[in-house]
Structure 1
Amino acid sequence: MAILHALLALMAACVVFALLARRTQLPYPVVLVLGGMALALIPGMPEIELDPQFAMAFFLPPLLQVSAIRTDWTAFKGNIRPILLLAVGAVLFTALCVGAAMKLLIPDFPWAAAIAFGAIVAPPDAVAAAAVLRKLRLPPRIVAVLEGESLINDATSLVLYRFAVVATMAGTFSWSEAGETFLAVSIGGAAIGWVIGRATIWASARLHDTLLETAASFIACYAAFFAAEALHLSGVIAVVVTGLVLGRAQHRLSANTRSQSRAVWTFIEFVLNSLVFILIGLQLNVILDRLDDYPSWHLALLAVAVSLVLIVSRFVWLFPASWLPRQIPSVRRHDPMPPWGHITVLSWAGMRGVVSLAAALALPVTFPERDLLIFLSFCAILATLVVQGTSLEWVIRRLGVEEPRRANMSVEEAAARTLIAHAALRSIERRAEDVLDGAIAQDLLTEYRDRVRLLDGVNQGPIAAERASRLEHRLHALRAGRDRLLRHRREDGLDEHLMNRLVDELDLEELRLRRLLGAADG
């Protein structure tokens, strides 16, 4: 019962802190971490040890898969070069820079152990960045690169971390062996993920049940992770590939399955992200109790130095990595140099998260300076979340990277909606020629022709205003219908199942109208 009480209390705290984040306009991971720290300092608060193996096995698979499912595969492929430069190149470069800084500050520290610590804090966590990016209208390429980086960088850092830990304990390290093994575990993990993803699609097509299909997608992430780890391959890569495969096939699902599974995964993502960040904050009292023997000034110096190296090294890597490939004429011709403001935003969006803390906690008990490394990992997470997380929105607005809100629907969206409308009109026109059902189809022709007219001129002032007005009228009519249904239920009674079905229909229609109205209004 104690575990249940603690879990419910943490969930309640997550809701409160998430609401506070909304009121204060701060990224909610920052508020959750600071809130967890505050809770940890309450007298009598029990110590909470976050088991690293549990954290990585329980939290990572669903969070990675939901990100992969949402990933725009076309954008991912189109930006594979900058994504790999960040997810592989920047992670390795940052690990080397942090390792060199640790070696400089603590000369007796083994090189392999310093690289292991660099691998721990090297991968940025996209959750805090996403909390800011969702509120802004950024160029699609920035979002695609950040999302793509977050899918791969954990695998890069964890493979390097494993090799560096083994080398520290054994006293030897081989870069060539590490490179070969990285390729092997990555390719093997990708193969496992593809198989699990295809198997899940095959099974879902035969379940014909929304609840079972959603459960299958949830099981898939853990199946991919544990299958790959059991074969000593990359579980992270396996989950990412499974998510990409499922994301590519999600449009084959029924509308009901897509709608309900999206709601389930959104809830799971919120719960897991919230618990992760509040648990990071709650580790503070456990970590500080182990560092009584270290002078405070020394700890502060190390923490500041590591945090600065983390932030600066990403800038040092990103600007040359963006400029140098474009010295090749073919690359420059097909992919011109982006504005410096875009590169600055990508450089500043380098907050660390749960992977770094879990990897630090997973260090062997006999690892050199283990407690110190855990403390520095926590400080890196906290510093990047607070400093970069709270200022990312300001940096984006200050550099003018945010795209202005369009007064009308985008050209791409208008073209897609017009294709749908024309196809629907042609279908009705063909049916209007039918001898038996022609009269019914004729009654619908006016509506479908009117829809095509509005979409053909969607970005023209008068038609756009007319379209927005029509949507507003439909929304008012829908609200009136819902109000009347509620009065009918109170006055005359109504079967609960029938009531729920009718309300679901009204809700879906309202969501559709609001999306269309949002597109019309910008």
Structure 2
Amino acid sequence: MHPVELFELIVAMFVAVLVLHYIAQRLSLPPAVALLIGGGTLAFVPGLPPVELDPELVLVIFLPPLLMDGAWFTALAPFRRHLAGIASLAVGAVLFTAAAVALATKLVVPDLPWAACVALGAIVSPPDAVSARAVLQRVKLSRRLGTLLEGESLLNDATGLVLFRFAVAATLTGTFSLGEALGSFTFLVAGGLLVGGAIGALWVLLLRRLGDDYLMIAASVLVCWVSYLLGEMLHVSGVIATVTAGLVCGWYQHTIFTASVRLRGVAFWQTLIFLLEAAVFILIGLSLRGVLERVGGIGVVWDDMAGPVAAVIAAMTLARFAWVFGGDAVLRQVQRRGWRGAEPLGGRSALVMSWAGMRGVVTLAVALSLPETMPERDLMLVVAFAAILVTVLVQGMTLGLVIGWANLGEDERAHPPLDLFAAETAMLRAQLAAVESQAYSVDGTLLHPRLLDSYRRRASVSGEFKGSAAERDQSIADHFDVILAAVAAGRAELVRLHRTHQIDDETLHDLERDLDLEELGAIAAKG
């Protein structure tokens, strides 16, 4: 394909992203579902060249920024509190699922070597960070469940990738050492932690010395690829390195970023992540044609592979249920024996956790990286693609219904000591103290009476409100609705003055920026 044609295809893909997202909104579908179906449909458009994904390039382009985005906005306190549960899912559930899939594969394809069966298990066992984000951001979960699922999606790829590499090596060489595998896994994780921590520390030092907004934003965007590539270059886990760097950067962003960097950087980053997430599902759908052509067509898949595919997907799904419900049962028993640290999920939360196991780009990229000499490589490709389709289309579309049926309550122990309004009162009182300290001259003359009155009024209103939380929410909404109406009126008047040539472009842009900041503040405060 000519480079210009490739660029045209990329532009067309992003146009399709916008159209499919709009359709998903109109039909109340998860965008990932619409993008996956749309990509699969586009793959068979006559005249469209087949899309062949380079698995290593796909992982390098998409995985680091999407992992970084999840880690950057991860709340560290609940992450640390639930680290044991996250590790159970990211390591234990992946290994257990891989074992269950390997056993099911061996039963339906007896001639396939055990190591190859484990390799297939490693391909489909880790739920995908991209798929999880695409679905979870549109449903409402308790803090604990959200932390567990987000933490799992950040870390489980490392487990699956390490297991896959050892299983493929064992298949091709016929040798395997459990001690070597455990040692290698420990080295990869520890090395990834060190590399990610070092990159995060260097990022903090660098941004404290950069004085330009655009340089700070660019450095913050590049840190995800730097940490991932450096980790892989040093033969440690690039996934763990990226997640660790993201946690460090996310922790220090509040004290390093200026307001302008935060507003501009977050807007740019969110747009980038939106396009990358959407492109992932479009590319998965577009790759369907290549997978089917490689294995001989849909007829071959249906006649020769339907049974093994169904068996693997069933084993993959049931294994997650078994691990989650089994772990919850163990926690209940431990709690009954007096260990206060045990916090069982409960049946309904365990059901939601079990059903939230979508596969995605990592599964496909790893499957495409299988060596050509791998036994039953075509079957593994079809299984990987089927796992993505079934989990995204079925689980992704029904997860909201499952959560609604479960009617999950919030985990009270997850709440911090101060709620939103108490924190707001403390913030306003600190602001008032700062204004009071500078509102008077040395001889006691009041220098800023209107400013002092404004901050006193804001602090007193916040601290003296006696209504319920619902009443306060409504009062705040009504207050800022008036502000938003005033902003809209001001903007309409500015446009009228500009269109009638009473103000120039520079005046329009300057005053419009003030209104934009006021509008953003009002929307944030109302929300």
Q: TM-score range by the shorter chain?
A: over 0.9
Residue pair 1:418, 1:452 contacting (<8 A) in 2 also: yes
Residue pair 1:396, 1:402 contacting (<8 A) in 2 also: no
| CA 1:466–1:8: 2 relative to 1, 3 Å | closer
> Which residue is 2:375 aligned to?
368
Residue correspondences, number = 513
Q: Alignment RMSD, CA only?
A: 2.1
Matched, 1:34 2:37: yes
Matched, 1:421 2:428: yes
Q: Of the candidates 98, 105, 127, which is equivalent to residue 95 of structure 1?
A: 98
> Which residue is 1:170 aligned to?
173
SS in 2 for 1:71: coil
Q: Of the candidates 375, 381, 391, which is equivalent to residue 388 of structure 2?
A: 381
Matched, 1:10 2:13: yes
| CA 1:446–1:2: 2 relative to 1, 3 Å | same
Distance 1:322 1:160 in 2: 25
| CA 1:468–1:16: 2 relative to 1, 3 Å | closer
Residue pair 1:14, 1:278 contacting (<8 A) in 2 also: yes
**1:473-494 deviation line (CA, Å, top 9, x unaligned):** 2222222221111112212354
Distance 2:162 2:217 in 1: 31
What amino acid sits opposite 1:417 in the alignment? Answer: E
Residue pair 2:70, 2:150 contacting (<8 A) in 1 also: yes
Distance 1:274 1:129 in 2: 13
Residue pair 1:421, 1:448 contacting (<8 A) in 2 also: yes
What amino acid sits opposite 2:57 in the alignment? Answer: F
Residue pair 2:32, 2:135 contacting (<8 A) in 1 also: no
Distance 1:459 1:336 in 2: 35
Residue pair 2:115, 2:168 contacting (<8 A) in 1 also: yes
> Which residue is 1:62 aligned to?
65
| CA 1:33–1:512: 2 relative to 1, 3 Å | same
Distance 1:463 1:394 in 2: 30
SS in 2 for 1:211: helix
Distance 1:48 1:437 in 2: 75
Matched, 1:517 2:526: yes
> Which residue is 1:262 aligned to?
266
How do residues 333-482 of structure 1 correspond to structure 2 at under 5 angstroms? 333-401=340-408, 412-435=419-442, 438-458=445-465, 460-461=467-468, 466-482=475-491
Matched, 1:233 2:233: no
* Higher mean C-alpha deviation, range 287-296 or range 261-270: 287-296
> Which residue is 2:212 aligned to?
209
**1:339-368 deviation line (CA, Å, top 9, x unaligned):** 321111111110000000000001111111
Distance 2:394 2:339 in 1: 34
| CA 1:90–1:493: 2 relative to 1, 3 Å | farther
* Higher mean C-alpha deviation, range 90-99 or range 333-342: 333-342
Shift in Å at residue 151 of structure 1? 0.8
> Which residue is 1:324 aligned to?
330
Q: Of the candidates 98, 120, 123, which is equivalent to residue 123 of structure 2?
A: 120
Shift in Å at residue 402 of structure 1? 6.7
> Which residue is 2:313 aligned to?
307
| CA 1:49–1:82: 2 relative to 1, 3 Å | same
Distance 1:171 1:498 in 2: 74
**1:174-226 deviation line (CA, Å, top 9, x unaligned):** 22211110010111111111111111221111111111111111221111111
Shift in Å at residue 254 of structure 1? 0.5
Distance 2:209 2:184 in 1: 38
Residue pair 2:129, 2:153 contacting (<8 A) in 1 also: yes
SS in 1 for 2:408: coil
What amino acid sits opposite 1:116 in the alignment? Answer: A
**1:239-266 deviation line (CA, Å, top 9, x unaligned):** 1111111101110211111111111111
Distance 1:475 1:115 in 2: 58
What amino acid sits opposite 1:379 in the alignment? Answer: A
Residue pair 1:26, 1:390 contacting (<8 A) in 2 also: yes
Distance 2:456 2:329 in 1: 51
Residue pair 1:21, 1:27 contacting (<8 A) in 2 also: yes
Residue pair 1:345, 1:396 contacting (<8 A) in 2 also: yes
| CA 1:133–1:457: 2 relative to 1, 3 Å | farther
| Identity in percent | 41
Matched, 1:192 2:195: yes
Shift in Å at residue 505 of structure 1? 2.5
> Which residue is 1:407 aligned to?
none
Q: Of the candidates 143, 146, 154, which is equivalent to residue 146 of structure 2?
A: 143
Distance 2:504 2:339 in 1: 65
Distance 1:517 1:232 in 2: 48
Distance 2:474 2:394 in 1: 43
Shift in Å at residue 444 of structure 1? 2.7
| CA 1:491–1:165: 2 relative to 1, 3 Å | same
Identify unmatched segments of 5+ residues in structure 2: 412-416
